[in-house]
Amino acid sequence: MTIELKTQGAAESEINRPEINHIVSQLRALRVASLEHRQRLNKPPKLPSRKVLASIIERLSTALFPNRLGTPSISDEGIDYYVGHTLDVALRDLIDQIHHELFFVSGQEIAGASIREHAASIASTFAQQLPKIRSLLENDIRAAYEGDPAARSIDDVLVCYPGITAIIHHRIAHELNLLGVPLIARMMSEIAHSLTGIEIHPGAQIGDRFFIDHGTGVVIGETTIIGSNVRLYQAVTLGAKRFPVDEQGILVKGNLRHPIVEDDVVIYASATILGRITIGHGSTVGGNVWLTHSIPPGSHVTQAQIRTDVIAAGTGT
């Protein structure tokens, strides 16, 4: 197939100079080769849409907190109708996106409409978790307000704090991940990553009253387990120490490689905690600490002080 590019004026020679048609042909050949490698010789199924998922999260957030994230004109009499309508639109769109993921994974329609029915079942089960998600988020927001002297009100925390935006996305994405649509869950978490600079894998298990202060640069890995009443500051990493490979040299997926952080732990800015280690309850990890071993409950870990040896002139060795 040949694609002719037509332009006007002096720009025509500049656009044609790199031989765009030849580049297009090369890209097509690479796409075909990739599809053959993945045994998808026909037209590949559609992936979930990042743009639609962002809209779904916005609607779900509005349904969870209509008085603060909804439209200002909502009346007390109409708020339930507004929440119901918003949820209806969000869940219908979510069924479509789940259908795309299930179809993409299977590569084919299963028993006619059954894949659509399965998508609807997942969305329905997820919807039933929304009151639990709202309750968890209420505690997260309160923990942020109580833990930050700069917070003027609960409302400020909800509408201003990037850590709250990130945890709203995570609470939603985590439930969807548990229900078997990990691609949608991961896309939702990456939307939050783009908005806030905070990366939380949807597989991470996070207890209630969770607070990320400031937040930029925080990374929480897939198999991380975080207890209740935990506070993190910016640039904290809860990551993997090493990445084991199998006999063919391929990375082993799904192994438990991230930390366990027990209840009532505070981890200060730029601390790096790696591997399947346990941070005991009630512990404090100071800023810039690099930690690769477990610590018992009630520990206080700080960066080692730098020794300075002063050597008098003429007496050094």
CA 281/CA 271 separation, integer angstroms: 17
The whole-number pLDDT of residue 113 equals 67
Per-residue model confidence as pLDDT tens digits over 170-190: 999 999 999 999 999 999 999
Please determine, for residue 223, whether its predicted confidence score (pLDDT) is greater than 60: yes
* 252 and 135 part of one domain: no
CATH number of the domain within which 174 lies:
1.10.3130.10
The DSSP secondary structure of 248-300, one letter per residue, reads TSPBPPS---S-EE-TT-EE-TT-EEESS-EE-TT-EE-TT-EE-S-B-TT-E
Quick check: is 212 in a domain? Answer: no
Question: Burial, 232: exposed, middle or buried (Cβ in 10 Å; 0-12, 13-18, 19+)?
Answer: buried
* 85 and 181 part of one domain: yes
* 193 and 50 part of one domain: yes
* 294 and 151 part of one domain: no
The whole-number pLDDT of residue 5 equals 46
Q: Which domain holds residue 302?
A: 217-317
Quick check: is 22 in a domain? Answer: yes
pLDDT top residue among 316 and 218 = 218
The whole-number pLDDT of residue 102 equals 93
Please determine, for residue 151, whether its predicted confidence score (pLDDT) is greater than 80: yes
Please determine, for residue 42, whether its predicted confidence score (pLDDT) is greater than 80: no
pLDDT-derived band at 23, boundaries 50, 70, 90: confident
pLDDT-derived band at 305, boundaries 50, 70, 90: very low
Q: Tell me if 296 sits within 8 A of 262, measured CB to CB.
A: no
* 91 and 102 part of one domain: yes
Quick check: is 208 in a domain? Answer: no
* Residue 242 backbone dihedrals phi, psi, to 5 degrees: -150, 165
Pair of tokens at residue 80:
């339930």
pLDDT top residue among 279 and 307 = 279
CA 15/CA 10 separation, integer angstroms: 9
Instruction: Specify the number of domains making up the chain.
Output: 3
Q: Tell me if 270 sits within 8 A of 234, measured CB to CB.
A: yes
Read off the pLDDT of each residue in 213-234 and give the average, rounded to a whole number.
97
* 40 and 57 part of one domain: no
Read off the pLDDT of each residue in 234-252 and give the average, rounded to a whole number.
88
Read off the pLDDT of each residue in 124-152 and give the average, rounded to a whole number.
96
The whole-number pLDDT of residue 264 equals 98
* 193 and 52 part of one domain: yes
